[in-house]
Amino acid sequence: MGDPAFVVPLENVAVKYSLSYEDVPVEILDPQDGIMLSQRKYAEYLPTQARLSDQKVAHTPMEINVMYKNDDGDPLAEPTLYRRLIGCLIYLTITRPDISYPVQVLSQFVTNPCQHHFSSLLRIILYVQSTINRGLFFHSTSSLNLEGYTDADWAGCPNSRKSTTGWCMLIISSLISWKCKKQPRISKSSTEVEYRSMSAACSEIVWIYRLMAELHISVDGSTTLHADNTSAIQIATNSVHHETTKHIKVDCQYIQEHVVDQVISIRDIMSHDQLADLFTKVMTRSRHQFLLSKLMLLDK
C-alpha cells in the first residue's frame, strides 16, 4: 500500500466544478536566454479542485517499489472525483512531462479506482504544489540539432504484464516531444519491447522532419536516437533478418530504411544517461532531479 503520510480520507475531499481549461491558458515567460512554458496558474487550482488543504511536501510524484493493481484495497464510493482529477493532471502534462508516467499509471484505474489509487493521485498533486513554478525551458540559439531518447519497461504492468514505451525528443537540448504509453501486446523478450519503442520514436522523428520542412526549417545533420539495449541496436543496424525477428520484421525494416537514408543514427548509451527513463519508471529523488535538469524542466 502507499505511504500513510499521503492517505487523505475521501470525506475530507470535495470537487469544485467552476474551473475550465480555457480559463487558465499556458503561460509564456521570457527569460533572458530563452522562453519558458508554464501552467503555474492552472496548477494552483488543483488543491481547490480536490479541496486539499494538506501542506506536506512531495519531492517525487510517485513512490518507488509500489505496485498498482486493479483490486488494490477498498473501492471508492464515488469515483467521479478521481476521474476529474486525472483529467486535470493530463491537461497539466502539456508543460509538466515529469508527471506523465505517474498519470499514465493511475489513469488505467478510472473505471474502478480504489483508495490506494486515490492516495497516490493526491501525492501527485502535492508534488505539483511543491514544484509550482516548474516549466519547460527553451534555449535561444541559432543551431538546430534534433536528438531522441528511447526506452521501454519490459512487462512492468502487474495486471497485464504489458510493457511501457517511453521516448522523448529534444531540439537545442530542450524537450519538444515525449510519449509514455503502454504497448498493446505482451512480449516475451525485452529486446522486442525495446525495438518497438525505437520504432515508435523513429516515427516521431520522421513526423518532426516533415513538420519542420513545411515550416522551411532545416535540421543540422541526421537525428541521433539514443538507446540502451545492445541487442535492439544490433538488430537495427543489421540488414539480415533472422528467424527470431520475423514477428517484428516490419519495425526492423522501417528503422533500417531510415538509418540507410541517414534520417537517424542509432547510438548506444549508458543506462545512467538514458533520459527516457522519466517516461517508463518511478525513480529515486536524486535520479528524478538529475533527469529534470537534463530535460530543461526548470523552476523559474
Using one digit for the tens of pLDDT, what is the confidence trace for 79-92? 999 999 999 999 99
Give the pLDDT band (50/70/90) at residue 38: very high
Q: Name the β-bridge partners of 227.
A: 268
Winning range, highest mean pLDDT, from 15-24, 160-169, 250-259: 160-169
Q: Higher pLDDT residue, 128 or 71?
A: 128
Residue 168: per-residue pLDDT: 96
Q: Which of 139-143, 154-158, 223-227 has the lowest mean pLDDT?
A: 139-143
96-108 pLDDT, tens per residue?
999 999 999 999 9
Whether residue 131 sits in one domain with residue 242: no
Amino acid symbol at 7: V
Whether residue 228 sits in one domain with residue 86: no
Whether residue 192 sits in one domain with residue 128: no
Whether residue 146 sits in one domain with residue 269: yes
d(CA 291, CA 273): 8
Residue 287: per-residue pLDDT: 96
Whether residue 147 sits in one domain with residue 279: yes
Whether residue 187 sits in one domain with residue 99: no
- Domain range spanning residue 190? 141-299
173-196 pLDDT, tens per residue?
899 999 999 998 888 888 889 988
Whether residue 288 sits in one domain with residue 146: yes
Whether residue 218 sits in one domain with residue 180: yes
> Which of 9, 102, 98, 100 has the alpha carbon at shortest distance from 63?
102
Q: Which of 2-6, 128-132, 145-149 has the lowest mean pLDDT?
A: 2-6
**DSSP type of residue 76:** P
> Which of 80, 93, 25 has the alpha carbon at shortest distance from 49?
80
Average pLDDT over residues 125-129: 95
Whether residue 260 sits in one domain with residue 145: yes
Label residue 128 left, alpha or beta by phi (over 0 means left) and psi (-120 to 50 means alpha). alpha
Give the pLDDT band (50/70/90) at residue 289: very high
Residue 241: per-residue pLDDT: 55
Check whether 245 has a pLDDT greater than 70: no
Check whether 141 has a pLDDT greater than 90: no
Domain termination residue (choose one: 121, 136, 151)? 136
d(CA 146, CA 55): 40
Domain termination residue (choose one: 136, 152, 172)? 136
Give the pLDDT band (50/70/90) at residue 13: very low
The Cβ of residue 280 has, within 10 Å, a number of other Cβ atoms equal to 23
Average pLDDT over residues 199-216: 91
Residue 247: per-residue pLDDT: 56
257-278 core/surface letters (b: 16 or more CB in 10 A; e: else):
ebbeeebbebeebeeeebbbbb
Which CATH number is 210's domain given?
Answer: 3.30.420.10
Whether residue 158 sits in one domain with residue 118: no
Domain termination residue (choose one: 120, 136, 152)? 136
Whether residue 184 sits in one domain with residue 58: no
Q: Higher pLDDT residue, 103 or 238?
A: 103
251-268 pLDDT, tens per residue?
777 888 888 888 889 999
Whether residue 271 sits in one domain with residue 157: yes
> Which of 80, 78, 101 has the alpha carbon at shortest distance from 17?
80
Query: How many domains is the chain built from?
Result: 2
Give the pLDDT band (50/70/90) at residue 10: very low
